[in-house]
Amino acid sequence: MGTYQAWDALGDPTRRAIVECLAERPRAVGELAEVLPISRPAVSQHLKVLKEAGLVSDQATGTRRVYRLNPAGLSALRDQLDTFWSRALEGYQSAVENEEKT
Amino acid sequence: MGTYQAWDALGDPTRRAIVECLAERPRAVGELAEVLPISRPAVSQHLKVLKEAGLVSDQATGTRRVYRLNPAGLSALRDQLDTFWSRALEGYQSAVENEEKT
DNA sequence: ACGAACGGTAAGCTATGACTTACCGACGAC
DNA sequence: GTCGTCGGTAAGTCATAGCTTACCGTTCGT
Protein backbone atom coordinates (compact mmCIF):
# COMPACT_ATOMS: atom_id res chain seq x y z
CA MET A 1 0.00 0.00 0.00
CA GLY A 2 3.00 2.25 0.18
CA THR A 3 2.68 5.00 -2.34
CA TYR A 4 6.35 4.58 -3.11
CA GLN A 5 5.42 1.61 -5.24
CA ALA A 6 3.67 4.08 -7.50
CA TRP A 7 6.92 5.88 -8.22
CA ASP A 8 8.63 2.61 -9.00
CA ALA A 9 5.75 1.65 -11.25
CA LEU A 10 5.86 4.90 -13.21
CA GLY A 11 9.61 4.65 -13.53
CA ASP A 12 9.15 2.35 -16.51
CA PRO A 13 8.37 4.02 -19.87
CA THR A 14 6.15 1.17 -21.01
CA ARG A 15 4.02 1.45 -17.90
CA ARG A 16 3.76 5.20 -18.43
CA ALA A 17 2.54 4.46 -21.94
CA ILE A 18 -0.07 2.16 -20.48
CA VAL A 19 -1.15 4.84 -18.05
CA GLU A 20 -1.43 7.37 -20.87
CA CYS A 21 -3.43 4.87 -22.85
CA LEU A 22 -5.79 4.23 -19.95
CA ALA A 23 -6.12 7.96 -19.39
CA GLU A 24 -8.00 8.17 -22.68
CA ARG A 25 -10.40 5.41 -21.83
CA PRO A 26 -10.53 2.06 -20.04
CA ARG A 27 -9.21 -0.81 -22.11
CA ALA A 28 -8.94 -4.57 -22.07
CA VAL A 29 -5.57 -6.28 -21.93
CA GLY A 30 -5.69 -7.31 -25.57
CA GLU A 31 -6.48 -3.79 -26.69
CA LEU A 32 -3.43 -2.48 -24.89
CA ALA A 33 -1.26 -5.19 -26.43
CA GLU A 34 -2.42 -4.16 -29.91
CA VAL A 35 -1.30 -0.59 -29.41
CA LEU A 36 1.92 -1.26 -27.53
CA PRO A 37 5.06 -2.77 -29.11
CA ILE A 38 5.19 -5.64 -26.62
CA SER A 39 3.46 -8.98 -26.23
CA ARG A 40 0.26 -9.51 -24.33
CA PRO A 41 1.88 -11.38 -21.40
CA ALA A 42 4.23 -8.43 -20.99
CA VAL A 43 1.21 -6.15 -20.76
CA SER A 44 -0.29 -8.42 -18.11
CA GLN A 45 2.87 -8.21 -16.05
CA HIS A 46 2.93 -4.44 -16.26
CA LEU A 47 -0.72 -4.23 -15.32
CA LYS A 48 -0.02 -6.37 -12.28
CA VAL A 49 2.63 -3.91 -11.13
CA LEU A 50 0.35 -0.94 -11.77
CA LYS A 51 -2.47 -2.60 -9.89
CA GLU A 52 -0.30 -3.40 -6.87
CA ALA A 53 0.80 0.23 -6.90
CA GLY A 54 -2.84 1.30 -6.73
CA LEU A 55 -2.67 3.13 -10.03
CA VAL A 56 -5.18 1.01 -11.94
CA SER A 57 -8.19 -1.14 -11.17
CA ASP A 58 -9.67 -3.95 -13.18
CA GLN A 59 -13.10 -5.33 -13.78
CA ALA A 60 -13.92 -8.65 -15.42
CA THR A 61 -16.71 -8.65 -17.98
CA GLY A 62 -17.14 -12.06 -19.50
CA THR A 63 -13.79 -13.35 -20.65
CA ARG A 64 -12.44 -9.84 -21.02
CA ARG A 65 -10.82 -7.87 -18.26
CA VAL A 66 -11.06 -4.12 -18.50
CA TYR A 67 -8.47 -1.94 -16.80
CA ARG A 68 -8.89 1.71 -15.94
CA LEU A 69 -6.95 4.36 -14.09
CA ASN A 70 -7.49 4.69 -10.38
CA PRO A 71 -7.89 8.42 -9.64
CA ALA A 72 -7.17 7.83 -5.95
CA GLY A 73 -3.73 6.46 -6.74
CA LEU A 74 -2.89 9.40 -8.94
CA SER A 75 -4.08 11.95 -6.42
CA ALA A 76 -2.00 10.30 -3.70
CA LEU A 77 0.99 10.71 -5.94
CA ARG A 78 0.18 14.34 -6.51
CA ASP A 79 -0.06 14.97 -2.79
CA GLN A 80 3.43 13.61 -2.31
CA LEU A 81 4.69 15.78 -5.10
CA ASP A 82 3.09 18.83 -3.54
CA THR A 83 4.89 18.10 -0.28
CA PHE A 84 8.22 17.90 -2.04
CA TRP A 85 7.46 21.02 -3.97
CA SER A 86 6.51 23.18 -1.00
CA ARG A 87 9.47 22.00 1.01
CA ALA A 88 11.72 22.68 -1.93
CA LEU A 89 10.46 26.24 -2.06
CA GLU A 90 11.21 26.73 1.61
CA GLY A 91 14.79 25.64 1.20
CA TYR A 92 14.97 27.61 -1.99
CA GLN A 93 14.16 31.04 -0.66
CA SER A 94 16.32 30.49 2.39
CA ALA A 95 19.30 30.09 0.12
CA VAL A 96 21.22 32.79 -1.65
CA GLU A 97 20.06 33.45 -5.19
CA ASN A 98 22.76 32.20 -7.47
CA GLU A 99 21.46 30.50 -10.56
CA GLU A 100 23.31 28.53 -13.15
CA LYS A 101 22.58 26.24 -16.04
CA THR A 102 23.94 23.02 -17.38
CA MET B 1 14.61 18.71 -21.46
CA GLY B 2 12.03 15.98 -21.71
CA THR B 3 10.04 15.79 -18.54
CA TYR B 4 9.85 12.04 -18.98
CA GLN B 5 13.39 11.82 -17.77
CA ALA B 6 12.09 13.05 -14.45
CA TRP B 7 9.88 10.00 -14.08
CA ASP B 8 12.77 7.70 -14.91
CA ALA B 9 14.92 9.53 -12.41
CA LEU B 10 12.39 9.22 -9.60
CA GLY B 11 11.88 5.56 -10.41
CA ASP B 12 14.93 4.74 -8.34
CA PRO B 13 14.46 4.59 -4.54
CA THR B 14 17.94 5.93 -3.84
CA ARG B 15 17.31 8.98 -6.00
CA ARG B 16 14.00 9.53 -4.23
CA ALA B 17 15.92 9.45 -0.96
CA ILE B 18 18.26 12.09 -2.34
CA VAL B 19 15.31 14.23 -3.37
CA GLU B 20 13.77 13.89 0.09
CA CYS B 21 17.09 14.81 1.60
CA LEU B 22 17.43 17.89 -0.59
CA ALA B 23 13.86 18.84 0.20
CA GLU B 24 14.97 19.58 3.76
CA ARG B 25 17.85 21.76 2.72
CA PRO B 26 20.53 22.05 0.03
CA ARG B 27 23.49 19.78 0.61
CA ALA B 28 26.94 19.07 -0.73
CA VAL B 29 27.77 15.72 -2.31
CA GLY B 30 29.77 14.54 0.69
CA GLU B 31 26.93 15.37 3.06
CA LEU B 32 24.55 13.25 1.05
CA ALA B 33 27.02 10.37 0.98
CA GLU B 34 27.26 10.48 4.77
CA VAL B 35 23.54 10.02 5.19
CA LEU B 36 22.95 7.51 2.42
CA PRO B 37 24.11 3.89 2.53
CA ILE B 38 26.07 4.19 -0.71
CA SER B 39 29.48 5.50 -1.69
CA ARG B 40 30.18 9.06 -2.74
CA PRO B 41 30.76 8.25 -6.42
CA ALA B 42 27.37 6.55 -6.47
CA VAL B 43 25.83 9.74 -5.13
CA SER B 44 27.56 11.71 -7.86
CA GLN B 45 26.13 9.44 -10.52
CA HIS B 46 22.63 9.79 -9.11
CA LEU B 47 22.97 13.55 -8.92
CA LYS B 48 23.99 13.61 -12.55
CA VAL B 49 20.79 11.82 -13.51
CA LEU B 50 18.68 14.10 -11.34
CA LYS B 51 20.36 17.15 -12.83
CA GLU B 52 19.78 16.00 -16.41
CA ALA B 53 16.16 15.42 -15.48
CA GLY B 54 15.90 19.03 -14.30
CA LEU B 55 15.04 18.03 -10.77
CA VAL B 56 18.11 19.50 -9.07
CA SER B 57 20.57 22.30 -9.67
CA ASP B 58 24.08 22.67 -8.37
CA GLN B 59 26.30 25.52 -7.37
CA ALA B 60 30.04 25.35 -6.79
CA THR B 61 31.37 27.15 -3.73
CA GLY B 62 35.07 26.66 -3.39
CA THR B 63 35.84 22.98 -3.64
CA ARG B 64 32.38 22.03 -2.48
CA ARG B 65 29.41 21.65 -4.76
CA VAL B 66 26.00 22.27 -3.25
CA TYR B 67 22.93 20.64 -4.77
CA ARG B 68 19.36 21.78 -4.24
CA LEU B 69 15.95 20.87 -5.54
CA ASN B 70 14.73 22.63 -8.66
CA PRO B 71 11.11 23.69 -8.02
CA ALA B 72 10.51 24.14 -11.75
CA GLY B 73 11.25 20.49 -12.39
CA LEU B 74 8.93 19.37 -9.65
CA SER B 75 6.11 21.62 -10.79
CA ALA B 76 6.46 20.34 -14.35
CA LEU B 77 6.01 16.86 -12.97
CA ARG B 78 2.94 17.94 -11.07
CA ASP B 79 1.40 19.45 -14.16
CA GLN B 80 1.79 16.15 -15.99
CA LEU B 81 0.21 14.35 -13.09
CA ASP B 82 -2.71 16.74 -13.10
CA THR B 83 -3.27 16.04 -16.77
CA PHE B 84 -3.36 12.33 -16.16
CA TRP B 85 -5.64 12.80 -13.23
CA SER B 86 -8.20 14.94 -14.98
CA ARG B 87 -8.26 12.73 -18.03
CA ALA B 88 -8.66 9.72 -15.79
CA LEU B 89 -11.73 11.32 -14.27
CA GLU B 90 -13.16 11.99 -17.70
CA GLY B 91 -12.69 8.40 -18.76
CA TYR B 92 -14.06 7.35 -15.43
CA GLN B 93 -17.49 8.85 -15.78
CA SER B 94 -17.72 8.02 -19.46
CA ALA B 95 -16.88 4.42 -18.67
CA VAL B 96 -20.51 3.85 -17.85
CA GLU B 97 -21.24 4.16 -21.53
CA ASN B 98 -20.42 1.62 -24.15
CA GLU B 99 -16.91 0.91 -25.20
CA GLU B 100 -15.84 1.49 -28.74
CA LYS B 101 -14.00 -0.69 -31.23
CA THR B 102 -10.42 -0.34 -32.29
C1' DA C 1 -20.12 -31.16 -25.41
C1' DC C 2 -16.23 -28.93 -28.20
C1' DG C 3 -13.47 -25.19 -29.68
C1' DA C 4 -11.99 -20.50 -29.74
C1' DA C 5 -10.98 -16.18 -27.40
C1' DC C 6 -9.12 -13.84 -23.50
C1' DG C 7 -5.82 -13.42 -20.07
C1' DG C 8 -2.84 -14.71 -16.05
C1' DT C 9 1.41 -17.49 -14.72
C1' DA C 10 5.95 -20.10 -15.27
C1' DA C 11 10.48 -20.53 -16.94
C1' DG C 12 14.28 -18.67 -19.14
C1' DC C 13 17.20 -15.20 -21.62
C1' DT C 14 19.28 -10.76 -21.93
C1' DA C 15 20.26 -6.12 -21.27
C1' DT C 16 20.42 -2.40 -18.40
C1' DG C 17 21.62 0.10 -14.43
C1' DA C 18 23.20 0.53 -9.72
C1' DC C 19 27.12 -0.23 -7.17
C1' DT C 20 32.09 -0.75 -6.25
C1' DT C 21 37.29 0.69 -6.38
C1' DA C 22 40.74 3.31 -8.62
C1' DC C 23 42.09 7.39 -10.70
C1' DC C 24 42.40 12.27 -11.81
C1' DG C 25 41.54 17.32 -11.86
C1' DA C 26 40.32 21.59 -9.23
C1' DC C 27 40.50 24.51 -5.44
C1' DG C 28 41.98 26.16 -0.72
C1' DA C 29 45.26 26.22 3.25
C1' DC C 30 49.75 26.60 4.72
C1' DG D 1 55.19 25.79 -4.24
C1' DT D 2 53.04 21.17 -1.64
C1' DC D 3 49.47 18.77 0.59
C1' DG D 4 44.71 17.60 1.79
C1' DT D 5 39.89 17.92 0.63
C1' DC D 6 36.11 17.63 -2.45
C1' DG D 7 33.99 15.68 -6.31
C1' DG D 8 33.44 13.96 -11.13
C1' DT D 9 34.83 10.06 -14.34
C1' DA D 10 36.40 5.27 -15.87
C1' DA D 11 36.28 0.47 -15.71
C1' DG D 12 34.31 -3.60 -14.14
C1' DT D 13 31.02 -6.65 -11.44
C1' DC D 14 26.54 -8.25 -10.36
C1' DA D 15 21.67 -8.29 -9.60
C1' DT D 16 17.31 -7.09 -11.20
C1' DA D 17 13.71 -5.97 -14.35
C1' DG D 18 11.62 -6.48 -18.72
C1' DC D 19 10.83 -9.34 -22.51
C1' DT D 20 9.93 -13.69 -24.80
C1' DT D 21 7.54 -18.43 -25.62
C1' DA D 22 4.92 -22.03 -23.67
C1' DC D 23 1.30 -23.47 -20.88
C1' DC D 24 -3.08 -23.54 -18.33
C1' DG D 25 -7.62 -22.12 -16.51
C1' DT D 26 -11.93 -19.69 -17.49
C1' DT D 27 -15.69 -18.10 -20.16
C1' DC D 28 -18.66 -17.64 -24.19
C1' DG D 29 -20.60 -19.35 -28.63
C1' DT D 30 -22.24 -23.01 -31.40
User: Comparing A26 with B87, which gets the higher pLDDT?
Assistant: A26
Best of B27, B81, B102 to mutate (most A CBs within 10 Å, chain A):
B81
Distance from CA of B77 to the nearest CA of A (A): 8
Q: How many domains does chain B have?
A: 1
pLDDT at residue B92, as a whole number: 58
Q: Does A1 touch chain B (CB under 8 A)?
A: no
- The model's pLDDT over A35-93, given as tens digits with 9 standing for 90+, comes to 999 999 999 999 999 999 999 999 999 999 999 999 999 989 988 888 877 776 765 55
pLDDT at residue A98, as a whole number: 37
Q: Does B35 touch chain A (CB under 8 A)?
A: no
Q: Which of B13, B20, B50 is nearest to A8 (CA)?
A: B13
Print the domain residue range for A27: 4-93
Q: How many contacts (CB atoms, under 8 Å) link A and B?
A: 111
- Does a structural domain hold residue B12? yes
Rounded, the Å distance between the CA of B81 and C1' of D15 is 31
Hey, what amino acid is at B18? I
Task: Pick left, alpha or beta for residue A25 (phi over 0 → left; psi -120 to 50 → alpha; otherwise beta).
Answer: beta
- Does a structural domain hold residue B68? yes
Rounded, the Å distance between the CA of A82 and C1' of C10 is 41
Alpha-carbon span B48 to A26, nearest angstrom: 37
- Does a structural domain hold residue A98? no
Which nucleotide is at minimal CA–C1' distance from A47? C8
Q: How many residues does chain B have?
A: 102
pLDDT at residue A91, as a whole number: 57
- Does a structural domain hold residue B17? yes
- Does a structural domain hold residue B58? yes
**DSSP character at residue A97:** -
CATH code assigned at B68: 1.10.10.10
Distance from CA of A51 to the nearest CA of B (A): 15
Q: Confidence band (pLDDT; 50, 70, 90) for B28?
A: very high
Q: Do B78 and A85 make contact, defined as CB atoms within 8 angstroms?
A: yes
